[in-house]
C-alpha cells in the first residue's frame, strides 16, 4: 500500500473546514474511524476541497461491535463519508466481535468488490498479525499502532519490516508529552526545530508513517515541515534510547 509519509489523524476533529484546509495544504492521507463519530465531517471536508479523489488516501476503521456485519457497516461509513470506496479499511482492534476467519474473509470480499482498496489492521500484536497472514495468505496493507518517543513497540516495527508493509503511528507526539523529553529537546535544538517536529522527523527517518492530529493552520503547517528535517543516525539513536515509557492507550 502506497501510504503518504505523513498524514492527518482526525480523532476529535468535527469541523469540515479543518479537513479542507489540510487538503489544500498538501495533506493526502486522511485517517478517521467509526468510533471518532466524524466520518461525515471528514467527507464534507474532502468534498469542499475539490481535490481529485484518486490523489487522496482515505482510511476508516470498523469498530469492535461492527466486525460481524462488515459489509453493512462499511456501507454506512461510506454513506457518512460521501464516498463510493475507501482506500484503507481497518479492523480497529482485534476485540469484541472479531473472528479472524469470518471478519477477514468479509473484508477481503469488499476489497475484491472494489469497496475498499486495501485491508489493514490497527492495534494488532504480532500474534494477531500471524493469524491475519494465516487466514488471508498475505500481510495486512498496514498496521496502525501507538508509536512515539515514549512508546516504541519494537516487535511491531520489526514485523512490518520483515513482512514489508507500512507501520502507521497514531499519537506520534505522545499526547503532547514529547516536548518535555530531554533527548527529544536536544535533537530539536540541534536542528533548530520544535520537539514535536523532531519527534515526527524521527518517525519518518525510521520509515514509520505518523498521522498527528492538528486543528489549526499553524499546527498543520508545523507538522508538514517535519518532512524537510533530516536527522542523522546519532539523532535517531538518541530518541531510540529513551528509557521512559508511557503508553497512552493500553489494552
| Residues with catalytic roles | 36
Question: How far apart are the C-alpha atoms of 64 and 84, rounded to whole Å?
Answer: 23
Q: Residue 204: how many CB atoms within 10 A of its CB?
A: 20
41: Cα within 13 Å, side-chain hemisphere? 18
Question: How far apart are the C-alpha atoms of 222 and 60, rounded to whole Å?
Answer: 25
Ordered alpha helix ranges (H), 50-194: 70-81, 100-112, 126-136, 154-163, 182-191
Query: Edge-to-edge strands of the sheet including 29-31?
Result: 8-9, 29-31, 57-62, 86-91, 116-122, 143-146, 167-170, 209-210
Amino acid at each position: 500500500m502506497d501510504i503518504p509519509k505523513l498524514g492527518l489523524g482526525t480523532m476529535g476533529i468535527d469541523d469540515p473546514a479543518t479537513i479542507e484546509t489540510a487538503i489544500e495544504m498538501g495533506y493526502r492521507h486522511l485517517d478517521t474511524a467509526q468510533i471518532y463519530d466524524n466520518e461525515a465531517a471528514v467527507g464534507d471536508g474532502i468534498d469542499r476541497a475539490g481535490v481529485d479523489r484518486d490523489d487522496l488516501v482515505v482510511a476508516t476503521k470498523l469498530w469492535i461491535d461492527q466486525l460481524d456485519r462488515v459489509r453493512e457497516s462499511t456501507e454506512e461509513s461510506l454513506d457518512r463519508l460521501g464516498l463510493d470506496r475507501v482506500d484503507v479499511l481497518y479492523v480497529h482492534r482485534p476485540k469484541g466481535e472479531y473472528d479472524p476467519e469470518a471478519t477477514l474473509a468479509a473484508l477481503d470480499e469488499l476489497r475484491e468488490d472494489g469497496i475498499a482498496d486495501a485491508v489493514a489492521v490497527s492495534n494488532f500484536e504480532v500474534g494477531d498479525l500471524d493469524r491475519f497472514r494465516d487466514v488471508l495468505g498475505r500481510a495486512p496493507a498496514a498496521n496502525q499502532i501507538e508509536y512515539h518517543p515514549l512508546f516504541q513497540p519494537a516487535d511491531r516495527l520489526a514485523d512490518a519490516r520483515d513482512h514489508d508493509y507500512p507501520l502507521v503511528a497514531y499519537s506520534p507526539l505522545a499526547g503532547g508529552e514529547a516536548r518535555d523529553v530531554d533527548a527529544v529537546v536536544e535533537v530539536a535544538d540541534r536542528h533548530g526545530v520544535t520537539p514535536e517536529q523532531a519527534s515526527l522527523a524521527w518517525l519518518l527517518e525510521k520509515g514509520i508513517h505518523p498521522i498527528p492530529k492538528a486543528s489549526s493552520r499553524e499546527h498543520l503547517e508545523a507538522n508538514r515541515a517535519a518532512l524537510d528535517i533530516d536527522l542523522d543516525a546519532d539523532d535517531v539513536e538518541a530518541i531510540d534510547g529513551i528509557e521512559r515509557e508511557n503508553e497512552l492507550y493500553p489494552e
